[in-house]
Amino acid sequence: MRKSFITNLKKLLENKKNITILPHKNPDGDAMGSCLALKLFLKKFGHNCNIISPNDYPDFLDWMPGISKVLKFSSNKIFCEKLIKESDIIFTLDFNSLKRVEIIGDLIKKTKSIIVMIDHHENPDDFSQLTYSDPKIASTCEMTYNVIEKIKIQELDSEIASCLYTGILTDTGSFKYPSTSSRTHLIVSRLLETGINHTEIHQNIYDNFKKSRISLLSIALSNLKILDHLNTVYITLTNKELKKNNFKKGDTEGFVNYGLSIKGIKLSIILIENSKEKIIKMSFRSKGDFNVNVLAKDYFNGGGHTNASGGASPRSMNDTIKYLIYVLNKNSNKLK
Ligand code: 5GP
Ligand code: MN
């Protein structure tokens, strides 16, 4: 974190402000965790804060402190637009391209608000006046902790800590991704000292699934294909399969990781049909140095991190698979 970032941020927060906090579309544990933690923290100084999510958050985050007050832009456009226009400060958390908040991006380009980005994805776009961007850090929640530490660590309480723990847990793959550092564990240690119940948080996130998710998982696993010569696995879920199992946002979270659990597999991809948006949403996960951020950016209009990224294809499922295999064959030397 640059010294000027925190000096300017502190100055900005010296008197009471109207603040909007934005996570990316389809917010995950890290996006919601960092937004909620930041709101709880800023409220302690009397700021007027609202979190506006582009769309709904997944059910498995329902238990998070303060989440019921999160506004959804998709179902409350007029009020959200007013709040955005009236904001002195807009925090953009866990994304670095305005594409990831869709139409909200156009709104914030027009505002006079100061935009503060806190994010850990690669290649940040240039839309913020204050920027804390660091792709080496495992989660935006870890970065939010760093900000809180520099402003007033005495205000860290167990609610804020629960939110931060959630994002750190989910974005490090329960502390297994290479981006997990000794600093990550040090921060977690401090979060635990506030008295959070980490077992309960883990259970809320990972042992709280509906039966329909398990049915969907069994379909996903039976659709799993191994491309032996590319050390790659891909999994498909069609709209028909999703509908049959009452698919809700978040139900397929983590499915892509099953591919990577197979010995020798370096790349796993899940392709999920989204008939409403007429796209195939894709998630990419890799082990080692195969860079899925580059793959998603170069071929699937997406991005993310070296070992975890996402993107989308406008083609049909079959044509997307054909294109994917073509692209992977072109990059086969990196998958050996
Ligand atoms: P997931 O596969 O879990 O949706 O996302 C994995 C990572 O890639 C996350 O860090 C997420 O923010 C990023 N990501 C997912 N979808 C997209 C996308 O369409 N565009 C970009 N730029 N990043 C994405
Ligand atoms: Mn994140």
54 within ligand 1 shell (Cβ under 6 A): no
Q: How confident is the model at residue 300 (pLDDT cuts 50, 70, 90)?
A: very high
Q: How buried is residue 216: exposed, middle or buried, by Cβ count under 10 Å (0-12/13-18/19+)?
A: buried
Pairing assessment for the beta strands 279-286 and 308-313 based on DSSP bridges: antiparallel
| Cα 263 from Cα 12, distance rounded (Å) | 51
Q: Say how many Å lie between the CA of residue 260 and the centre of ligand 1.
A: 17
Residues 33-62, mean pLDDT to the nearest whole number: 96
Per-residue pLDDT tens over the stretch 59-115? 889 999 999 999 999 999 999 999 999 999 999 999 999 999 999 999 999 999 999
Shortest-distance Cα residue to atom 7 of ligand 1: 309
| Cα 333 from Cα 336, distance rounded (Å) | 6
Q: How confident is the model at residue 264 (pLDDT cuts 50, 70, 90)?
A: very high
Per-residue pLDDT tens over the stretch 197-249? 999 999 999 998 888 889 999 999 999 999 999 999 999 999 999 999 988 87
Q: Locate the ligand 1 atom nearest the alpha carbon of residue 297 and give its number.
A: 22
Amino acid 60 reads: F
Amino acid 148 reads: I
Residues 113-127, mean pLDDT to the nearest whole number: 96
| CB 61, CB 29: distance < 8 Å | yes
Counting ligands in written order, which one lies closest to the CA of residue 280? Answer: 1
- Residue 61: which H helix or E strand, with range? none
| Cα 49 from Cα 17, distance rounded (Å) | 8
- Residue 293: which H helix or E strand, with range? helix 292-299
In sign, the C-alpha dihedral spanning 194, 199, 200, 201 is positive
pLDDT at 250 over 80: no
Residue 7, both tokens:
């000096």
Q: Locate the ligand 1 atom nearest the alpha carbon of residue 121 and give its number.
A: 10
Counting ligands in written order, which one lies closest to the CA of residue 310? Answer: 1
97 within ligand 1 shell (Cβ under 6 A): yes
Helix, strand, coil abundance in the chain, percent, nearest 5? 45, 20, 35
- pLDDT reported for residue 208: 87
Residues 166-195, mean pLDDT to the nearest whole number: 96
Dihedral angle over CA of 28, 145, 297, 106, nearest 10: 80
Q: Indicate the DSSP class of residue 120.
A: -
Residue 87, both tokens:
């904001």
Counting ligands in written order, which one lies closest to the CA of residue 170? Answer: 2
- pLDDT reported for residue 218: 96
- pLDDT reported for residue 24: 98
| Cα 287 from Cα 327, distance rounded (Å) | 18
Domains of the chain with bracketed CATH: 3-206 (3.90.1640.10), 211-334 (3.10.310.30)
3-state SS assignment for residue 146: helix
Residues 293-318, mean pLDDT to the nearest whole number: 96
In sign, the C-alpha dihedral spanning 59, 186, 305, 206 is negative
Amino acid 142 reads: E
Residue 234, both tokens:
């891909």
Tell me what the pLDDT averaged over the chain comes to: 96
Residues 282-303, mean pLDDT to the nearest whole number: 96
Q: Locate the ligand 1 atom nearest the alpha carbon of residue 94 and give its number.
A: 12
pLDDT at 142 over 90: yes
- pLDDT reported for residue 33: 98
- What are the C-alpha distances in Å from 263 to residues 259, 301, 325? 9, 29, 20
311 within ligand 1 shell (Cβ under 6 A): yes
Taking phi over 0 as left and psi of -120 to 50 as alpha, with beta for the rest, 62 belongs to: alpha
Q: Say how many Å lie between the CA of residue 256 and the centre of ligand 2.
A: 17
147 within ligand 1 shell (Cβ under 6 A): no
Shortest-distance Cα residue to atom 14 of ligand 1: 310
List, in order, residues 6 or more apart from 62 with CB less than 8 Å away: none
| Cα 54 from Cα 35, distance rounded (Å) | 13
Residue 217, both tokens:
């998982």
Shortest-distance Cα residue to atom 24 of ligand 1: 310
| CB 64, CB 163: distance < 8 Å | yes
